[in-house]
Amino acid sequence: MLKPFTSNVQRSNENFDSIHILSDYVIQPSEFSELGRLFINPRIHQKFTIVAPCWVEHWISTDLFKYRLSIERQGVHVIGACSINQIPQFSLFCDEIVLMPADPIWYQKVTANRINLRNITKHPCFVNIERCQQLNGVRGVRDDFAEEISDKEVIARFACKKIFILQSAYDKFMIIKQHLPTNIAIAEINWKPPIKFEAEWLVGVDQKFQKDLIERVGCDSYMSTQILGSHFLNWQFICEGGSANLMSTLPIKTISLLDHIFTTSTKNIIRGFAECRNLPTPLVSNAYRVDKRLARSSLDMRLPPSRVFYHTV
């Protein structure tokens, strides 16, 4: 049963992100993991492939969408192996999600998702879709689908995203929502910037805001909380490195996205997403720099256009 609910937001156009709230009871047994699996799309193809990007860090971004479009053309069912926290991101490009145990290290000197993939990487249908010439110096499967699919195809299909969030994560956010700040910029940078930030609307430079939030919602619900915070509380993100790769794929508002591995394609797609949704275009760059004081005018005071759907069993 699908019960629609439209959130109370100011909409700049008729394009909506679609956030789908899934009951935790839809998690089914899996041959790969005792944590179970989720079906995002009905199984219509016998052939399947298994992928597990971002199990260590986020080294891939908009190419995930190119992979999805490429694999659709081949008539292949996509199984993604990830942590419970990563369900929203994997729901964007997978037909099925296998939930794997994780012991993440975040907001420390070393940042890692630490997904325990067990023997999945040895499965004959496993494909490393992160490997590419840019990262490894050796051409990989990612180079092929990145060239096969155009940026325009990705923008047309994924500018307004359909994403899935567990009911338990949604409930945790709603319980603490009234106690969380609104209209803030969150700095997702894993180093000390060369300037001093002094603004009540800018949080996270010292990572205290993020650590407190994880303490309240838990590691399994953290990504969902970031997404819901952007849609309901107008959180906006300043990202560098792996966080920029992650946030460029999610339906959230961003002020800047900086990473040295961004390709021209990635930058084109990020800007295309913003244009299609009539939202401010974030600063997108290969340079690691925050070289001037941010003004409050950097914030967009409109909530992002979105629609929430509840799935019940």
Judge contact between 12 and 302, C-beta under 8 A: yes
Judge whether residue 254 has pLDDT over 60.
Answer: yes
Average the pLDDT over 279-308 and give the result.
75
Average the pLDDT over 224-245 and give the result.
95
pLDDT at 296 (0 to 100): 66
Amino acid at 205: V
The Cα–Cα gap between 105 and 160 comes to 31
Pairing of strands 77-82, 48-51: parallel
Q: Which two tokens stand for residue 271?
A: 């800007």
What is the tens place of the pLDDT at every residue in 155-166? 999 999 999 999
pLDDT at 79 (0 to 100): 97
The Cα–Cα gap between 53 and 45 comes to 22
The DSSP output letter for 92 is T
Confidence of residue 192 (pLDDT cuts 50, 70, 90): low
The Cα-based distances of 75 to 48, 151, 250 in angstroms read 9, 21, 25
- What is the rounded (10 degree) CA torsion for 58, 160, 88, 230? 90
Judge whether residue 181 has pLDDT over 70.
Answer: yes
Per DSSP, what are the bridge partners of residue 112? 105
What pTM was computed for the model? 0.91
Per-domain residue ranges of the chain:
2-158, 167-304
What is the tens place of the pLDDT at every residue in 54-89? 999 999 999 999 999 999 999 999 999 999 999 999
Amino acid at 156: A
